[in-house]
């Protein structure tokens, strides 16, 4: 029985499967033991643990623990930077942080709208996923790690949504940002181009949401609280309206489902009943949060042409 390890090739930046045929690799075992069998017994446990914490090692596209039991049916992803570190350790070479995909770093650099010693704020283009998954071959976190190996996402926006995303450049900042998100002290504003007769000038949608297979639905019985505020920016022709949207909670697909629930789906959102357009017209244009020094930090991302 063959076990497949998915990683990013050095030459193309695309996924490639490595076939390992030694049967001892493929017995059901802990993830950390499996990594040592594949990459070498000299790999320190601390490096494996850190890679797992940083989501540089994924099982079936998700974060896990070193103690997880894996079988020959699981897909193991190891970030190329970590592959190089493992290889260097096994061969006795010193670890290197040399960038091997300068085109990834350049792509990421073009997204940056602000950078300090602690954070990076980017304007993510539509169609680019935030993080790798079992079926996702390129993502912000891959580009970011080629630009700065310590960079890590502290919040995500949907693949098809464009706009502001924040990355931390160190553990302390990542923990601080996580605290802010949990405390609901991060304020986000979106622009959405919707289709339909939007009632009034402004309003609030408070409808609980629940996941249903590969989509999200309004579920008053079992759903989780979800609140979205909106106000009209400009009424356009063809029953289209540009609105500013402020999610007070952070549920999956919240804005998309809430707007569709009042018969005003987002243009380009075929999943939730929106009219056809080559892109989802949802853009995270502003983020604000208090810094550790007590100041209000605010950054905006340029709005795409198709919103104008």
Which residues are catalytically annotated? 158
In sequence order, the 6+-apart residues with CB closer than 8 A to the CB of 106 are none
> What is the helix, strand, coil percentage profile of the chain, to 5?
25, 35, 40
Residue 198 and residue 243 in contact, taking contact as beta carbons nearer than 8 Å: yes
Residue 265 and residue 195 in contact, taking contact as beta carbons nearer than 8 Å: yes
Q: Which residues of 107-137 are buried (b: 16+ CB within 10 A; e: fewer)?
A: bbeebeeebeebbbbbbbebebbbbbeeebe
User: What tokens does 23 get?
Assistant: 């049967």
Q: What pairs with residue 202 in β-bridges? A: 231
Q: Is 151 exposed, middle or buried (0-12, 13-18, 19+ CB in 10 A)?
A: buried
Q: What pairs with residue 286 in β-bridges? A: 189, 300
Q: How far apart are CA 124 and CA 41, in angstroms?
A: 39
What are the Cα distances from residue 296, in Å, to 98, 173, 183, 288, 290?
Answer: 36, 16, 15, 7, 4
Residue 58 and residue 132 in contact, taking contact as beta carbons nearer than 8 Å: yes
């Amino acid at each position: 029985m063959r076990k497949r390890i998915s990683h990013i090739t050095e030459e193309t930046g695309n996924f490639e499967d490595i076939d390992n045929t030694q049967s001892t690799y493929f017995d059901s075992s802990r993830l950390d033991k499996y990594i040592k069998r594949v990459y070498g017994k000299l790999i320190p446990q601390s490096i494996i643990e850190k890679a797992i914490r940083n989501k540089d090692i994924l099982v079936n596209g998700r974060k896990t623990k070193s103690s997880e039991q894996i079988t020959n049916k699981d897909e193991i992803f190891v970030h190329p930077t970590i592959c190089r570190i493992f290889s260097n350790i096994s061969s006795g070479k010193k670890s290197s942080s040399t960038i091997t995909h300068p085109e990834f770093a350049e792509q990421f650099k073009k997204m940056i709208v602000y950078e300090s010693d602690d954070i990076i704020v980017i304007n993510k283009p539509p169609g680019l996923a935030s993080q790798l998954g079992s079926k996702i071959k390129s993502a912000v976190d891959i580009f970011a790690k080629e630009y700065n190996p310590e960079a890590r996402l502290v919040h995500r926006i949907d693949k098809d949504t464009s706009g502001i995303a924040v990355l931390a450049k160190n553990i302390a900042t990542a923990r601080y940002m996580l605290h802010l998100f949990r405390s609901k002290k991060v304020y986000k504003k979106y622009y959405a181009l919707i289709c339909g007769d939007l009632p009034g000038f402004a309003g609030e949608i408070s409808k609980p949401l629940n996941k249903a297979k590969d989509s999200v639905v309004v579920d008053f019985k079992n759903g989780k609280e979800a609140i979205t505020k909106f106000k009209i920016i400009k009424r356009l022709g063809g029953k289209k309206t540009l609105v500013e949207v402020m999610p007070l909670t952070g549920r999956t697909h919240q804005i998309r489902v809430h707007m569709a629930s009042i018969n005003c789906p987002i243009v380009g959102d075929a999943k939730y009943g929106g009219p056809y357009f080559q892109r989802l017209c949802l853009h995270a244009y502003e983020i604000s949060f208090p810094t550790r020094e007590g100041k209000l930090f605010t950054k905006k991302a340029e709005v795409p042409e198709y919103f104008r």
